């Protein structure tokens, strides 16, 4: 089943719960749905519980600390996310790698913490514009796959998200050919690294996915879902993206 994930980033107040209420009513009665995940800011997780109850929507965190608890002011643990109703957590988002200097080995420790807490990780990988222009995309992706998660952190629901950094929030999307070629490369590396789980782990695309391009991206056989930032904030846009899924 495809996985359509919304990453709200640092957006959303209690007033944004109405977007999820609209999403829940827009989904009512629909069949052939993909798995649907919303990753709001952690402050909204608990209040979203009653809103999504009985709907197909699941909740996720946007990041977690590698430790279970302790003196880490401002951080949030995987156990806390789980306790607040999450079943997934995004790790290694490029904004975390840049803003918080998180390395692939930090990401691997966070993915392990997620697994211990009973969460499935969505592990983000992707090249910068400069790396792409230097022809370094495959090398950076191979390194990130090697170092950003260990085999014992995988669950049947774990997903990898290929997010070219130059496509995030820019309105630029990788071409269908590039997505397909890069996903095939990533899939081969995942199989090399993880064996059978590397064949079945879901591989999402992220980077300026919107209603106008979602269907063609989700129609690629190499794409098992999408990770959506900006367009996940509005129920009607996110719903239109969900409708583009193969289910
Ligand atoms: C993201 O935040 O992971 C993302 C892909 O953002 P956007 O859809 O806004 O490019």
Contact (CB, 8 A) for 143 and 102 = no
Ligand 1 closest atom vs CA 161: 3
Residue in 5, 9, 171, 213 to alter for ligand 1 test, most ligand atoms within 8 A of Cβ: 9
- Express each pLDDT in 74-123 by its tens digit: 999 999 999 999 999 999 999 999 999 999 999 999 999 999 999 999 99
Q: How much is the pLDDT for 100?
A: 97
Domains of the chain: 3-243 (3.20.20.70)
Task: Pull the structure tokens for residue 62.
Answer: 């946007």
Q: How much is the pLDDT for 161?
A: 98
Ligand 1 closest atom vs CA 232: 8
First to last CA, the chain: 6
Of 31, 41, 39, nearest in space to 242 by CA: 31
d(CA 159, CA 203): 6
Quick check: pTM over 0.75? yes
Low-confidence residues in the chain, pLDDT < 50: none
Secondary structure (DSSP) of 143-204: HHHHHS--GGG--TT-EEEE--GGGTTTS----HHHHHHHHHHHHHHHHHHHSHHHHHSEEE
């Amino acid at each position: 089943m495809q996985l359509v994930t919304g990453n709200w980033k640092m957006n959303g107040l209690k007033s944004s719960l109405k977007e999820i209420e609209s999403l829940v009513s827009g989904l009512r009665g629909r069949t052939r749905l993909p798995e649907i995940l919303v990753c709001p800011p952690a402050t909204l997780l608990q209040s979203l519980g009653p809103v999504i109850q009985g709907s197909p929507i699941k909740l996720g965190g946007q990041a977690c600390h590698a430790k279970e608890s302790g003196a880490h002011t401002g951080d949030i643990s995987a156990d806390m996310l789980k306790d607040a109703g999450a079943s997934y957590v995004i790790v290694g988002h490029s904004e975390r790698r840049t803003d918080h200097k998180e390395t692939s080995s930090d990401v691997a420790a966070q993915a392990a913490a997620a697994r211990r807490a009973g969460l499935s990780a969505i592990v983000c990988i992707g090249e910068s514009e400069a790396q792409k222009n230097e022809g370094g995309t495959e090398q950076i992706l191979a390194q990130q796959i090697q170092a950003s998660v260990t085999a014992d952190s995988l669950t049947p629901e774990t997903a990898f998200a290929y997010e070219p950094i130059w496509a995030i929030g820019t309105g630029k999307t990788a071409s269908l050919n590039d997505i397909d070629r890069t996903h095939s490369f990533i899939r081969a590396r995942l199989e090399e690294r993880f064996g059978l789980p590397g064949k079945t782990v879901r591989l999402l695309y992220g980077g300026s996915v919107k209603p106008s391009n979602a269907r063609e991206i989700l129609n690629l056989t190499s794409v098992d879902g999408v990770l959506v930032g900006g367009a996940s904030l509005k129920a009607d846009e996110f719903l239109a993206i969900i409708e583009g899924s193969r289910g």
